[in-house]
Amino acid sequence: MVASLRPVIIAGLLSAAAVACGDDGPSNAFVVTGTIQNNTGSPLPANTRVLVVWQVSSGTPDYSYVFGEGTVDANAGTFRIQLDQPPPTEALNAGSLGVGLIVATTNQTVGNGGSIDDATLAEVVGAAGRYGVIYVAPSGTQYRDWATEFANGYGVGVGVDVVGDFDRFEPADPSSVVLIIDALENIDFVNWT
């Protein structure tokens, strides 16, 4: 499963994305927090930052869209992301479902509306592979049936393995996310698409 999802994530991270803003969604900030699990045995680089990389697979080709950034507290082993606006339409599947992967990177230049290219892919030092920031648009048909378990607006999902089919997300506490610092090939990702 990891092998089949990794190319989609990398292909999405390598894609270019356009900048745009949506105008529907929650008016209050949504906060995601969690712990950092460092599997490398080395200290977390001082310039590590967290980004939300939205995976879009409802068209061809699959791509990703960076929208959202957080902070890292290496001493406490925690991170925090605050999302004040809904993701842009370009970050949503079929205009209605957003699935954001939380990644840790040492790159300081990539930001909202951007993507991670060949030069910056090596600077991705980890990801919350079993979790997703989920965004459900207030209107529209959902791209995946499991999305109906989430309220409109932002939420956090944890991956559930499904035998013989794509995995799914189920609602989880926004403070329960585990961000793993390791090589991408060592991280188990939710194969939801």
Mean pLDDT by 10 residues, the chain (193 residues): 42 34 54 97 94 90 91 96 96 93 93 75 92 91 86 96 94 98 95 91
Q: What is the DSSP string of 36-50?
A: EEE-SSSPPPTT-EE
Per the structure block, which two tokens stand in for 133? 């920031």
| Alpha carbon distance 149, 146 (integer Å) | 6
pLDDT at 54: 94
Q: Contact at 8 Å (CB) between 73 and 20?
A: no
The gap between the terminal CA atoms of the chain, to the nearest Å, is 11
Q: Which residue in 124, 44, 53 sits closest to 76, CA to CA? A: 44
Q: Contact at 8 Å (CB) between 106 and 47?
A: yes
pTM of structure: 0.83
| Alpha carbon distance 26, 168 (integer Å) | 24
pLDDT at 90: 93
pLDDT at 61: 85
